[in-house]
Amino acid sequence: MHTVVVGTSGTTPEDVIAVARHNAKVELSAAALAALARAREIVDALAAKPEPVYGVSTGFGALASRHISPDLRAQLQRNIVRSHAAGMGPRVEREVVRALMFLRLKTVASGHTGVRPSVAQTMADVLNAGITPVVHEYGSLGCSGDLAPLSHCALTLMGEGDAEGPDGVVKPAGDLLAAAGIEPVELREKEGLALLNGTDGMLGMLCMAIADLKKLYTSADITAALTLEALLGTEKVLAPELHAIRPHPGQGASAANMLAVLEGSGLTGHFQEEEAPRVQDAYSVRCAPQVNGAGRDTIAYALTVAERELAAAVDNPVVLPDGRVESNGNFHGAPVAYVLDFLAIAAADLGSITERRTDRLLDKNRSHGLPPFLADDAGVDSGLMIAQYTQAALVSEMKRLAVPASADSIPSSAMQEDHVSMGWSAARKLRTAVDNLTRIIAVELYAATRGIELRKGLTPAPASQAAIAAARAAGVQGPGPDRFLAPDLAAADAFVREGKLVAAVEPVTGRLA
């Protein structure tokens, strides 16, 4: 575990994951504390003036026309947190909430929000104490920020609502703060609003999805190569000179990965030796680098958007370096929402082509000599017939999840917020899509390794042998009579999900892209 220092200039995807998933400690830099103090002086000066300033001495949203007297402003800030903590549905995952909290702290530390240093320090203290607010699935439209999710986090800072302690037990937030020696905050002008107004939830989920998808695309290159081998396909289509004349970076990387896995294979290139020789392999095999590669390039673009947003200070209004406090629309989640949806589309297509290869392995009319459904005694045994059904069901759901959330908008706040991004919804469905994609790749792994082992008398590539040996050691069983299949598939899922497939082949291939 290391300490993540939060400064004034944003953060990195790696730091988000360190805090969200690995409980890294958080520390505010001296520059951040100084910037917080400077911005607070500006807010205090504006609060003392008789002229109304949005977020400082007015109501919010459609109620912004009301000027709030000084004696009611602390109540105003408490009330916005309480009223906006209106989420419903199941709890979201701990890692999502930690990312949400950390990214709001990142923006607060920029010095553009007007929050006091003591409030920012309390945010860091809550993260470091392992206290996780209870945040619900529904409540964000992805405009004016992830309002309800962030409000539930702010409620915990006030010592109200429920939160999960470091022991995983949900208790009243006030009790957890007291046990950790943390004083609840008493919000002042601008602070309640500043804690709620950001794209932090959708951005945190984007960072984690990018990290997960990078690993999955490498796993998918490996399983595609294993299937090509099991089908006695040709590796000639992976030649670097072919991909150089269509210079998409992701395509070249995927082709190179597959070629590295197939190096030294005794199974490839037999497609001309059959009774009905193939001129070329099917698209699902031959075009794997093109599809996998397009997904890789989509991830690269999504990472660019994430890095820009990680460098941003998203709040409304914001404190500018010249002392102005100005309203803006930077909280709108469209840039993040679009790439979340784009990734769901790419993931769905990767799932689709993966399932087509699996189906080809199981069909005796297209598998070039493999037994029906890779069964031990076809007819008595059903082999992997229903494993493909499960994979197909997952693919079907992936296609539904690929429908863009960001193409929708629903007006809110008495038509003041009349166009919203739905970025939180895009992020939530992408998490499900990534989860499903892992399972889909695991089924191909299970089928392809069995198919290779059924090619008696032919020697697979050294990398393939390493993958098969590691999978078998991890409980992913090989060919044989029918057995209870769910545990095998669960073992394959864990093997892919935990990165063990990539780890098994890289000692042979060298580092894969």
Alpha-carbon torsion angle 482, 487, 488, 492, nearest 10: 160
User: Nearest CA to 257 among 201, 302, 216?
Assistant: 216
Distance CA 441, CA 353 (A): 10
Q: ∠288-269-286 over CA atoms, to 5°?
A: 15
Non-local (6+) Cβ contacts of 457 within 8 A are none
> How far does the chain reach from its first CA to its final CA, in angstroms?
26
Whether 389 sits among the annotated catalytic residues: the reply is no
Contact assessment for residue 278 and residue 228, using Cβ atoms and an 8 Å cutoff: no
Non-local (6+) Cβ contacts of 7 within 8 A are 29, 31, 32, 109
Let me know if 409 is exposed, middle or buried by CB neighbors in 10 A (0-12, 13-18, 19+). Answer: middle
Q: Is the bond preceding 317 in cis, omega lying within 30 degrees of 0? A: yes
- Amino acid residing at 166: P
Distance CA 139, CA 91 (A): 12
Strands 88-91 and 170-172: unpaired
Q: Give SS3 for 129.
A: coil
Distance CA 193, CA 439 (A): 41
Contact assessment for residue 235 and residue 44, using Cβ atoms and an 8 Å cutoff: no
Q: Any idea which residues carry the catalytic annotation?
A: 54
